Structure 1
Amino acid sequence: MEPLRRTWHPGYPLDLGHVLGPLHRGAGDPVSAWSPGDLWRAFRTPCGIGTMRITARPADGEITAAAWGAAAPWLLDRLPAMLGAHDTPNQLILPPGPLREVQRRNPGLRLGASGLVMDSLVPAVLEQKVTVTEARRAWRYLVRRHGDPAPGPRTDLYVAPAARQWALIPSWEWHRAGVDPKRSATIMRAVRLAPRLEEASSMSSADAHARLASVPGIGIWTAAETLQRSNGDADAVSVGDFHLANHIGHFFTGRARSTDDEMLELLAPYAGQRHRVCRLALLAGARAPRFGPRLAPNDHRRR
């Protein structure tokens, strides 16, 4: 099967790792494969399924993309938005200091918008209140068992299940994946409302958050993690994250521990750009000191 191809000149510095990294769910991610300057990603879109290979050619100032499957035209048309063409990083004007310096040193950091809400919502729900290891293990198991082989030349990639496929997963499969009933029930509620939730991709930030939060089990953290990826929402702060408030608080004040309210107070001067500021702070090395043991995995399969 010959792919459709597109060459695009963004006209601005672009770091694929910074922009597309949030769509990649770690080593062994069944829907994506990453190497320096090159990303393979399988998608389920309004036009069907497709696989896209995106390659950066910094010396030429261009991005080349190849796409396979029924969704190939949709994916190639969406490419600029995915790579931050609609992002406005110049709206964040910082005073002299570490944040402005890291902004200057990372001009390729832009916030991409996939335009696909469920693509990011389901893995975000799987990540609720568990370790990254647990969430990614569940994601790999469920996608490989219940998704579809990705079109194109790679046989190791899968497309995440469609809403109906998620809805048909039996309770014992969720258990085998290590997903507790609360998270699986949230996903089941969400997939029943998938068409309405997908509409959030074209909404304002406030309306998109409200649309996602209307589903029981989807709170501020899950909505933010989703809209950062689907909408490129520059203000979506992951309130409720296990580490973020401590990292941001330590970066700005030196305090070892901070609450979510304290983090939001520190970020208030950057309203409209708070997620971007968090990204920059983490790039600048924002890390709170650790005390005590790490969060231990809780294997729900043993229950």
Structure 2
Amino acid sequence: MTLTADSAPADAARADLARETVYRPPHDLDLHRTVGMLRRGRNDPTMVIDSPVLWRAMRTPHGPTSLALRMIGQEVHATAWGPGADAALALVPALCGAHDDAGDFDASLHPLVAESARRNPGLRLTRTDEVFDALACAIIEQKVTGMQAFGAWRWLVSRYGERAPGPTPRPMFAAPSPEEWFRIPSWAWHRAGVEPPQSRTIVRAAARGDRVARAVRDAADGAGRDRVLTSLPGVGVWTSAETRIRSLGDPDAVSVGDYHLAHEVGFALTGKRTDDDGMVELLAPWTGQRQRVIRLLFASGVHEPRRGPRLAPEDHRHR
């Protein structure tokens, strides 16, 4: 692995000055399949895919930052703007799967998994280290459609996050800090379409803020991370798994309780849908690498046929 940064003048912290680095991963890398999964809908204010460039708006201890990633040959060229540019550049290897360990993964246990692994050698598990951001996003996604969740995320982050610096392809915003989530007024949650149980869960978690994030990072394994996250009122195993997947690249996290996941996994592995218990049983041979299997199944292009009309979400905001 090689990570080099260009020298910069003393005032490089200014938002109009770019910092650059080149990351040379020691493994195959499909940048869009690896990092692109972090986008929450086409209009996500924290992430834009302006092919071939992936843009991320990030909150750092030094302030909001925008990060642009582009794959050129076998290298990732990264440029960052804003007071936290160096912190964003330091995160590039993790975003590109540098911490992802597939050492005990056996794709040969199922022909579809083996074929998808062969066809997608650059699919890595990304890691953002943004635990609270991932937790807040997952809580918003509880028990609603993706369309509703993505709309609520966009509305709240665009109004209570910080504008990202740099020449972003459209206005982008770093997610609010825990303190800022805590201060969001009740009318704003209602306007965004977030139900009271979810807004209360975020506010209660935000009161513990960075302490939760530190405890999750310090946990020894997935079970330990689950214990920390599910100790929060309103956070169950699904929300915990979604948080671990995005923020820590947890290779074994499984979103039990997801509306579609068990059906899709069952169909891909057996040709027929199953429930959560059946999914867990099917994935058991890959314990330790179950999230990797799920990602490969989705990358295979094999999906259960839709059987009925799409759910029409009910809007309670004007009642």
Q: Do the two structures share a fold, i.e. TM-score over 0.5?
A: yes
3-state SS of the aligned residue for 1:50? strand
Alignment of 1:152-163 (within 5 A): 152-154=166-168, 156-163=171-178
3-state SS of the aligned residue for 2:224? helix
For 1:108-140, what per-residue CA distance to the aligned partner results, in whole angstroms no more than 9, with x for missing partners? 100011111012111111111111111111111
Cα RMSD of the aligned pairs, angstroms, is 1.5
Do 1:87 and 1:232's aligned partners in 2 also have CA atoms closer than 8 Å? yes
Do 1:202 and 1:231's aligned partners in 2 also have CA atoms closer than 8 Å? no
Residue of structure 2 in register with 1:239 after alignment: 256
Runs of 4+ displaced beyond 6 Å:
none
Do 2:140 and 2:149's aligned partners in 1 also have CA atoms closer than 8 Å? yes
Do 1:130 and 1:298's aligned partners in 2 also have CA atoms closer than 8 Å? no
Give 1:97 deviation, angstroms.
Answer: 1.3
Give 1:11 deviation, angstroms.
Answer: 2.1
Do 1:43 and 1:119's aligned partners in 2 also have CA atoms closer than 8 Å? no
Do 1:41 and 1:53's aligned partners in 2 also have CA atoms closer than 8 Å? yes
Residue of structure 1 in register with 2:150 after alignment: 136
Residue of structure 2 in register with 1:43 after alignment: 58
Q: Distance in 2 between matches of 1:231 and 1:83?
A: 12
Do 1:45 and 1:116's aligned partners in 2 also have CA atoms closer than 8 Å? no
Q: How many residues align?
A: 300
Task: Report the residue type matching 1:71 in the other structure.
Answer: G
Residue of structure 2 in register with 1:148 after alignment: 162
3-state SS of the aligned residue for 2:77? strand
Give 1:213 deviation, angstroms.
Answer: 0.9
Do 1:250 and 1:288's aligned partners in 2 also have CA atoms closer than 8 Å? yes
Residue of structure 2 in register with 1:69 after alignment: 82
Alignment of 1:6-45 (within 5 A): 6-45=21-60
Aligned partner (choices 93, 96, 101) of residue 106 of structure 2: 93
For 1:149-192, what per-residue CA distance to the aligned partner results, in whole angstroms no more than 9, with x for missing partners? 11223361111111111111111111111111011111101111
Residue of structure 1 in register with 2:265 after alignment: 248
What is the TM-score when the length of structure 1 is the normalising length? Answer: 0.95
Do 2:161 and 2:173's aligned partners in 1 also have CA atoms closer than 8 Å? yes
Residue of structure 2 in register with 1:114 after alignment: 128
For 1:8-28, what per-residue CA distance to the aligned partner results, in whole angstroms no more than 9, with x for missing partners? 110221111111112111211
Residue 183 of structure 1 pairs with residue 195 of structure 2: no
Task: Report the residue type matching 2:88 in the other structure.
Answer: L
Q: Distance in 2 between matches of 1:208 and 1:72?
A: 29
Q: Distance in 1 between matches of 2:292 and 2:136?
A: 23
Give 1:202 deviation, angstroms.
Answer: 4.3
- Identity between Structure 1 and Structure 2 (%): 46
Unaligned runs of 5+ in 2: 1-15
Residue of structure 1 in register with 2:95 after alignment: 82
Do 1:122 and 1:187's aligned partners in 2 also have CA atoms closer than 8 Å? yes
Residue of structure 1 in register with 2:3 after alignment: none
Aligned partner (choices 273, 282, 285) of residue 269 of structure 1: 285
Residue of structure 2 in register with 1:3 after alignment: 18
For 1:45-83, what per-residue CA distance to the aligned partner results, in whole angstroms no more than 9, with x for missing partners? 23432111111112xx11111111222111111110111
